[in-house]
Chains A and B, each alone.
Chain A
Amino acid sequence: GAGVSQSPSNKVTEKGKDVELRCDPISGHTALYWYRQSLGQGLEFLIYFQGNSAPDKSGLPSDRFSAERTGGSVSTLTIQRTQQEDSAVYLCASSLTASGISYEQYFGPGTRLTVT
């Protein structure tokens, strides 16, 4: 079946521009996660959507970052007024949750964002 997809795969933008990154989770997965990964570094948690609950936005680094998830499926991560330090790979993942903690995350291929 189809995995998690992300678009675009690469995005080059000028400093100060807004960008939108898209994530299509696996159908039926109620949880969706966004992470940022700088070159050679670990995963930096950004935001977590779980079903119809209010998202956990505790990882968003500034108010320039926002995300939404429409219809419990597709999610868009928006970065306003991009800065060079926003350059990174943005990874999306989805997971079954319901009431279980045993379900692993499935990751998308990521969007490589370069801010010039």
Chain B
Amino acid sequence: AQKITQTQPGMFVQEKEAVTLDCTYDTSDPSYGLFWYKQPSSGEMIFLIYQGSYDQQNATEGRYSLNFQKARKSANLVISASQLGDSAMYFCAMRDNNYGQNFVFGPGTRLSVLP
């Protein structure tokens, strides 16, 4: 069965610094997708970034990048130049064909950006 682990319940980072949010996953399917979502206090879920298992390069989207280490089954989210508006819950999720293309979410990491 698939599983997503996010070992950091809470993280603090100083404004303008970079922060890494950890995510490890487990799947037996060689083809899978990894997603990161942000949920601010307003409650909306915002898609941030996607990494495919066959992608040769790490995904990047603006200040977000994904440190994808396939052999270690980790897909850590890196946020550069943190902003106060980055304070939110961050969820890592995976989708593969073993589970009918359903999504599996991790428990989330609460990031607090300090001024």
Contacts and interface: CB of A to CB of B under 8 A. Distances in A.
Interface of A: 31, 33, 42-43, 45, 48, 50, 53, 56, 89, 91, 93, 95, 97, 101-102, 104-107, 109-110
Contacts of A107: 37, 44-45
Interface in B70-112: 91, 93, 95-97, 100-108
Contacts, number: 54
Interface of B: 31-33, 35, 37, 43-45, 47, 50, 52, 91, 93, 95-97, 100-108
Given A45-B105, A89-B43, A101 B95 contact: yes
A38 to B, nearest CB: 12
A91 B44 CA distance: 9
A56 B44 CA distance: 24
